[in-house]
């Protein structure tokens, strides 16, 4: 009976998160400097001409879908890293993985734009993946030498600072006016998304999500300890490699299109876990994705509208809501250790 009630709770939470995503997608599309009524949106979908058709289809729709997809990907990457390191404050931004991806993307963009070469979405993802893997490599090396998890996080933060410093140097001394605009991207933003970007990120994130979902049972065993997982026949080495690669792919996709976005990867999984009341991967994986989407859609809405027409960077808003969650996690963990 208790198991049944828990299952009902999980389904209700997933349903509410799904409804929240749909509601926020509609809200993001409607609200802005130019307000678009829902009636006009439905009319445009049916093929009728509306006054703000270009704003709807070329600006608002791609941006909103990107926030939804990349927000979910960011939360999922955070969940994988937290599971991998058994650390509640591990995430792409904190461990410097996002900063490494940002650094290589900035270097590639400066070089190719300087040579007047067009940069494709796939090239950006590939560059970001290389950067993410470089940072992840350093973090993994540190994890072998440093067994204290708090020191590992500090090491990741330092790696992030080094990568960010290199990126700032590249952006600051870029002579071309178009290259200088990298500064906005380097702070994190969903603006300027195109339908090509949305198509590519949808493909990458959908395939990665499917692979992560297939790992639900091995991840569940891994959470209970490596010895326990080995006894159940889980190939720990292969699982750890898969977690590293998949979290890096997700991080790369996010950074390639939106730049580094802070705290979502840490905060969203914990908020979702509190709602579900369980850490079971079979429920956490889809809930994390939906929770990350809700988090980023809400933050992007505030970033666009809070001081309109001035737009805040997405990381500024996510930090406002995400940082208190991290502090709460640390305080709660400290209490558990002292108890």
pLDDT, tens digit, for every residue of 132-178?
Answer: 889 888 888 877 776 666 677 778 888 888 888 888 887 777 666 55
Query: DSSP letters along 195-241, please?
Result: HHHHHHHHHHHHHHHHHHHHTHHHHHHHHT-HHHHHHTT--HHHHHH
Report residue 288 as tokens.
């994390």
In sign, the C-alpha dihedral spanning 120, 124, 130, 133 is negative
Please give the angle made by the CA atoms of 317, 297 and 49, to the nearest 5 degrees: 130
Q: Tens-digit pLDDT profile for the chain (339 aa)?
A: 667 888 899 999 999 999 999 999 999 999 988 888 888 888 888 888 888 888 888 999 999 999 999 999 999 999 999 998 887 878 888 788 888 888 898 888 877 766 656 677 788 889 899 998 898 888 888 777 766 666 777 788 888 888 888 888 877 776 665 565 576 677 788 888 999 999 999 999 999 999 999 999 999 999 988 888 899 888 988 998 899 899 999 999 999 898 888 889 989 999 999 899 888 999 999 999 999 999 999 999 999 988 878 888 888 899 898 888 878 877 776 666 665
Does residue 9 contact residue 276 with C-beta atoms inside 8 Å? Answer: yes
Does residue 163 contact residue 135 with C-beta atoms inside 8 Å? Answer: yes
SS3 per residue for 28-69: HHHCCCCCCCHHHHHHHHCCCCCCCHHHHHHHHHHHHHHHHH
Distance CA 154, CA 230 (A): 30
Q: What is the pLDDT of residue 237?
A: 87
Q: What is the pLDDT of residue 55?
A: 87
Burial track 120-142 (b if 16+ CB lie within 10 A, e otherwise): ebebbbbbbbbbbbbbbebbeeb
């Amino acid at each position: 009976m208790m198991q049944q009630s828990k299952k009902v709770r999980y389904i209700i939470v997933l349903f509410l998160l799904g409804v929240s995503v749909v509601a926020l997608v509609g809200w993001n599309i409607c609200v802005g400097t130019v307000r678009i009524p829902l009636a006009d949106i439905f009319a445009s979908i049916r093929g009728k001409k509306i006054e703000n058709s270009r704003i709807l289809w070329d600006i608002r729709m791609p941006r909103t879908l990107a926030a939804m997809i990349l927000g979910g990907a960011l939360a999922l990457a955070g969940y994988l890293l937290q599971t991998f390191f058994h650390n509640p404050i591990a995430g792409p931004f904190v461990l410097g993985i996002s900063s490494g991806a940002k650094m290589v993307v900035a270097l590639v963009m400066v070089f190719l734009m300087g040579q007047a070469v067009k940069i494709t979405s796939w090239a950006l993802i590939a560059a970001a993946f290389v950067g993410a893997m470089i940072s992840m490599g350093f973090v993994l090396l540190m994890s072998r030498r440093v067994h204290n998890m708090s020191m590992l996080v500090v090491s990741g933060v330092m790696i992030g600072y080094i990568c960010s410093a290199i990126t700032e140097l590249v952006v600051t001394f870029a002579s071309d006016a178009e290259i200088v605009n990298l500064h906005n991207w380097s702070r994190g933003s969903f603006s300027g998304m195109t339908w090509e970007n949305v198509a590519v990120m949808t493909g990458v994130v959908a395939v990665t999500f499917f692979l992560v979902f297939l790992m639900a049972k091995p991840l569940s065993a891994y959470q209970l300890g490596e010895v326990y997982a080995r006894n159940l026949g889980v190939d720990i080495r292969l699982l750890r490699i898969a977690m590293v690669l998949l979290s890096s792919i997700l991080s790369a996709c996010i950074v390639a299109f939106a730049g580094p976005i802070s705290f979502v990867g840490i905060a969203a999984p914990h908020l979702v876990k509190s709602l579900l009341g369980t850490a079971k991967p079979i429920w956490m994986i889809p809930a994390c994705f939906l929770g990350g989407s809700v988090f980023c859609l809400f933050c992007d809405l505030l970033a666009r509208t809070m001081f309109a027409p001035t737009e805040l960077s997405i990381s500024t808003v996510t930090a406002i809501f995400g940082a208190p969650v991290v502090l709460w996690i640390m305080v709660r963990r400290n209490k558990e250790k002292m108890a």
